[in-house]
Structure 1
Amino acid sequence: MKTPPCALLAEVRTFRQNHPDVRYVDLIALDIPGHFYGKRYPVEMLEKVAAGSPLKLPQNAVLLGVQGGLFKIGDYCFNDGDPDANRRLVPGTLKPVSWESQPLGQMLITSDGTDAPIEFEPREVLARVLQRLQHKGIHPMVAFELEFYLFDKKLANGLPQFPRDPLSDDADDQPNLHIERLSRFGVVLDDMAQTARDQGIDSTVITAELGPGQFEINFGHSDDALRAADWAALFCRSTRGVALKHGYHASFMAKPYLQFPGSGMHVHISLYDGAGNNLLAAHQQQPLRHAVAGCLQLLPHCMPIFAPNHNALRRLGGTVNAATRASWGFEDRDACVRIPESDPRNLRIEHRLASADANPYLVLAAILAGLEHGLETRQEPIAPLNDDRSSGTDFPVEMLDAVRAMQHHRVVRDTLGAEFVDVYCENKRQDHLAFQQEIHAREYRWFL
C-alpha cells in the first residue's frame, strides 16, 4: 500500500506546475456516517507531507455523528485525551476543485497503510477485507451505481422543492424515465460528469430515473476495489458542489419523497483468481450460489451499514425495485442480490440493497465479507425469486433492532473487525437517541 515519497512528491509538483493558481489543497477522508472531514493545507506544505513529513489529524474525527457531534463510545472521545493519528496521502487523488469560488485542490487521505491504522476508519475496514481476500487468491472487480435527486436551491419551509426545468422554468414534478429529461438538465448533468472525470473518476452512463428530478450515474468496473469506493465517495462531494454552482441542490438522501422511489447504491462485483479466471463461473456456477448464500446470510446483520439512518430505512419496501426481504434472483430488480445476464467471463452479482447515502467503503466491505463467508461455508441459497416470488428472509427495519442484530454476530465481528463493529453500532445507537431528542410539529398535531 505504501507509495515511495518520490512518487508522491512528483505528483504534487506536477499538480503545482499544471495549476499554478492553486494555493490550498483540501486533505479529506470519509468518517463513519459518510461525511468528509479534513484540513485545508497550503500547497507548499503539501510538498513537505509528500516528502515524508508526518500528517496527523485527531483519531476521533472518524467517530463524528451524522450531525457532526462527538459521542462517548467506550473510552473514545472523552476519556482518551483525544489523540492524533497518522494519515497518509492517497496516490493519484490530487485533483483540482472546479466548483468552488476560488482555485482549490483536494486529495484523499487515510490511515490504512500507516504504521498504526485506525481500526474503525471505513477505508481501513475495507482495506483489511481486501487484504484477506488477496491472501486467499481472490481479486474483486467492482463497479458502483449511484442514484440521486436534484432539488431547487431554495427550500420551502425546510422542505425540498422540485427542480425547475431550465428550458420552460416549470417544476420537474412528473415521475418519468424520459430521455428528454437528460437534455433539459443536460448542462448541469454534463458538468457533473466532466467534473467527475476531472477528479479521476471513471463515470460512464447517466440515466433519468423514475422519480422527479432523479438521476443515476454509473462508474466503470475497477480491479482496484479501494479506488472504486474512492470514486463513489468523491462523486458525491463533487456532484453536490456542481449542483450548487448551477442553482440546484443534489442529494443522495435515501428517501426524500415518500410517494416516489428512493435512491440506492448498487454494487456490481465479480471475483477472479490470479490467472484472471472468474471464480463465480467455475464448476457450473456453483461458487456463485455459495456466494449468494453467504451474502443473504450476513445481510440481516449488516443492515446498519446498508441503511445507516432513519430515512434510509424508509426506503425499504413499498416502492419500485426496493426489496422488503433478503432475496436473490436472475435478472430480477426486486431482489436484494440480482444476477445480471452475462457471459461466464463477466458473471457477477449486483447488490441492490444499500441506500445512496451509505458509506461506500463499508457497503463494499460488508458485501465482500458475505461473499467470502459463502465461498468458505459452501451453503446452498434459498430459492431465487424466479422460482418462488415469496422467497426471502426477514431483515430488521428499525435501527435499534438492526444494531442489536449486527453487534453480536460472530461472523460479522470476525470479518469486519470486533472493534469496528462495537464502535459503529454505538455510533448508530447514539445517532438514534439524538434523532429522538426533538419534538416535531406532527407530534403537537396528534397529541396536544
Structure 2
Amino acid sequence: MKSHSPALLAEVRTFRQLHPKVRYVDLIALDIPGHFYGKRYPIEMLEKIAAGSPLKLPQNAVLLGAQGGLFKIGDYCFNDGDPDANRRLVPGTLKPVSWESQPLGQMLITSDGTEAPIEFEPREVLAKVIERLHRKGIHPVVAFELEFYLFDKKLDNGLAQFARDPLSDDADDQPNLHIERLSRFSEVLDDMAQTAKDQGIDITVITAELGPGQFEINFGHLDDGLRAADWAALFCRSTRGVALKQGYRASFMAKPYLQFPGSGMHVHVSLYDGAGNNLLAAHQQQPLRHAVAGCLELLPHCMPIFSPNHNAFRRLGGTVNAATRACWGFEDRDACVRIPESDPRNLRIEHRLASADANPYLVLAAILAGLEHGLEIRQEPIAPLNEDRSSGTDFPVEMLDAVRAMQHHAVVRDKLGAEFVDVYCENKRQDHLAFQQEINAREYRWFL
C-alpha cells in the first residue's frame, strides 16, 4: 500500500481550507497498552507527508509500558539502537480537535501497509488477521460498545471522587439505570457524542449504566474491522478530552470501584461471504456453534489481551454480568460469548469479556482468531448457560498465570504472530512486576 495518494493529499488540503486556524496536527497511533503516542506536526509538513515525504517514528514507541517506560524485551529497546520505522497516514482520519484550548487537528498513523510493518504494532496484528480472513472469503462486520465512568475532575488524595450531579451539585453516588441521569449529565454526554461524530464515528445508543456516573455508548456496525477499532480508540481519546473540558474526568478503567460494576468493551461480530450471506447462519447455524467453540478454546490463552492490567482482573466475577469462566449462551449477559436474538441475516456473537481499557485492535484480533479457529476445527461447544448454569471452562485470573497460558499456545502464536505474542507477553510481565514495586498504605497497616 502506498503511503501517499492524490486522495490523501486532497484530504489534507480540504482540511486546511475548512479549518484555516489549525496550525498543528497530532499524528497518533496506539501502543501495546492502548495509549496514544505520536508527534505534533505543523500543518505544512503534513501536506508534504501526504504528498510522499517519509514519515518515521521510533519503532520502540510501540513497546512503551503502561506508565510510558521502556522494558528490555529480547533485543528491542536497549540492544537495537532504537531504530526508526516507517509509518503512513490513515486516510479518512484527519479531523479537528475541539477539546483543546487552541485549534488543532489529529490523524491516525500506522505501520501496517508500509514496506516493513512492525510485527508487534496492534493495528498491524489486526490487519494481518483480517487480511487472512479475506483471503478465505470471510468478511467480518463489527460493532464496539464501550462503558466508562465520569468522575469529579479533582482527586481526593489521589483517589477518584464521584461525579457531581450538575443539577443538584451532589455526588452522583447511587447506582441506578435511570434514564433521568442522561438528562442530568446531558451537556457533557451530548458534547462527547457530537465530538465523536466530528471524528467520523457513528455514535448510536447512549445508556446510563448501573454504576454511579457510569455510561455506555454504542457504535454502528462496520464492514471494515480496522476502522471499527479505530473508532473505539479515537472515542476513548476524545471522551477523556471532552470530560476535562467540561470539568470532569472520564475513565475507561476496568474496575474503579470494588462495590460497583466494572466497565467492559463489548464487541459484536458477524461473518459474511463475498455475496453477503451470513456464514454463521448457514446449515442450521452449525458454523455459529463451531465459531463459539473456537472462541471459548482460545479465550483462556488470550486473557492478557482481554484483561491487560492488574485492575482489569478485578472486574472478573464482579457484581453484575462479568463471567468467571469461559462460557456462552443465548441472550445471556452472564456469558463471555453471548448470542443476541436476531434474524438469520444479522446473526452474530457478542464478546463481552474484555475490559474497557483493553486495546481494541488486539481484542478484535483475538476474537476473530478464535472465530477462525472454530470454523477450521469444526467442534461442538460446551453446553450453553441456558442449558447448564455451571457450564464453562476455567481461565487465568492473575496476570503472570495468564501470560504463561498465552505465550506458548501454538494456535495463538500462529493466528496472532509468534513475534507479537513474545513481545506482548514480556511487556505485560514487566508491567505487572513494575506495578508491584511500590509499598502502599494497606501493606503497612497489615504487616508493619
Range into which the TM-score falls when normalised by the shorter chain = over 0.9
Give a deviation string over 1:270-291, Cα, whole Å, max 9, x none: 0000000000000000000000
Contact preservation (8 Å) 2:3, 2:88: no
Match for residue 346 of structure 1? 346
Gap runs ≥5 in structure 1 = none
Contact preservation (8 Å) 1:3, 1:91: no
Give a deviation string over 1:53-89, Cα, whole Å, max 9, x none: 0000000000000000000000000000000000000
Contact preservation (8 Å) 1:204, 1:217: yes
Contact preservation (8 Å) 1:226, 1:361: yes
State percent identity of aligned pairs.
Answer: 92
Aligned with 2:133: secondary structure? helix
Aligned with 2:270: secondary structure? strand
Contact preservation (8 Å) 2:86, 2:114: yes
Give a deviation string over 1:245-292, Cα, whole Å, max 9, x none: 000000000000000000000000000000000000000000000000
Contact preservation (8 Å) 1:253, 1:357: yes
Contact preservation (8 Å) 2:3, 2:50: no
Aligned with 1:271: secondary structure? strand
Match for residue 187 of structure 1? 187
* Distance in structure 2 (CA, Å) of the matches to 1:157 and 1:393: 41
Contact preservation (8 Å) 2:3, 2:52: no
Match for residue 196 of structure 1? 196
After TM superposition, the structure 1 stretch with the greater mean CA deviation from structure 2, 383-392 or 155-164, is 155-164
Give a deviation string over 1:419-444, Cα, whole Å, max 9, x none: 00000000000001101110001000
Task: After TM superposition, give the deviation of residue 157 of structure 1 in Å.
Answer: 1.1
* Distance in structure 2 (CA, Å) of the matches to 1:367 and 1:15: 35
Task: After TM superposition, give the deviation of residue 40 of structure 1 in Å.
Answer: 0.1
Contact preservation (8 Å) 2:262, 2:318: no
Contact preservation (8 Å) 2:261, 2:318: no
Task: After TM superposition, give the deviation of residue 173 of structure 1 in Å.
Answer: 0.4
Over 6 Å off, 4+ runs: none
Task: After TM superposition, give the deviation of residue 393 of structure 1 in Å.
Answer: 0.2
Task: After TM superposition, give the deviation of residue 5 of structure 1 in Å.
Answer: 1.7
| Residues 1:109 and 2:147 aligned together | no
Gap runs ≥5 in structure 2 = none
Give a deviation string over 1:144-171, Cα, whole Å, max 9, x none: 0000000000011111100000011011
| Residues 1:64 and 2:64 aligned together | yes
Q: What is the TM-score normalised by the length of structure 1? A: 1.00
1:204–1:248 Cα change, 3 Å: same
Match for residue 84 of structure 2? 84
* Distance in structure 1 (CA, Å) of the matches to 2:368 and 2:157: 42
* Distance in structure 2 (CA, Å) of the matches to 1:195 and 1:433: 37
Task: After TM superposition, give the deviation of residue 4 of structure 1 in Å.
Answer: 4.9
Contact preservation (8 Å) 1:111, 1:118: yes
Task: After TM superposition, give the deviation of residue 401 of structure 1 in Å.
Answer: 0.2
* Distance in structure 2 (CA, Å) of the matches to 1:247 and 1:47: 35
Give a deviation string over 1:188-240, Cα, whole Å, max 9, x none: 00000000000000111100000000000000000010000000000000000
* Distance in structure 2 (CA, Å) of the matches to 1:23 and 1:155: 33
Task: After TM superposition, give the deviation of residue 306 of structure 1 in Å.
Answer: 0.1
* Distance in structure 1 (CA, Å) of the matches to 2:340 and 2:247: 37
Task: After TM superposition, give the deviation of residue 319 of structure 1 in Å.
Answer: 1.4
Q: What is the TM-score normalised by the length of structure 2? A: 1.00
Give a deviation string over 1:5-57, Cα, whole Å, max 9, x none: 21110000000000000000000000000000000000000000000000000
Aligned with 1:27: secondary structure? strand
* Distance in structure 1 (CA, Å) of the matches to 2:104 and 2:436: 39
Q: What do you get for the CA RMSD once the two structures are aligned?
A: 0.6
Task: After TM superposition, give the deviation of residue 318 of structure 1 in Å.
Answer: 3.2
Match for residue 254 of structure 1? 254
Give a deviation string over 1:385-424, Cα, whole Å, max 9, x none: 0000000000000100000000000000000000000000
Contact preservation (8 Å) 1:138, 1:272: yes
Contact preservation (8 Å) 1:240, 1:250: yes
Contact preservation (8 Å) 1:12, 1:46: yes
Aligned residues: 448
Give a deviation string over 1:175-195, Cα, whole Å, max 9, x none: 000000000000000000000
Contact preservation (8 Å) 2:4, 2:49: no
After TM superposition, the structure 1 stretch with the greater mean CA deviation from structure 2, 4-13 or 255-264, is 4-13
Task: After TM superposition, give the deviation of residue 2 of structure 1 in Å.
Answer: 4.0
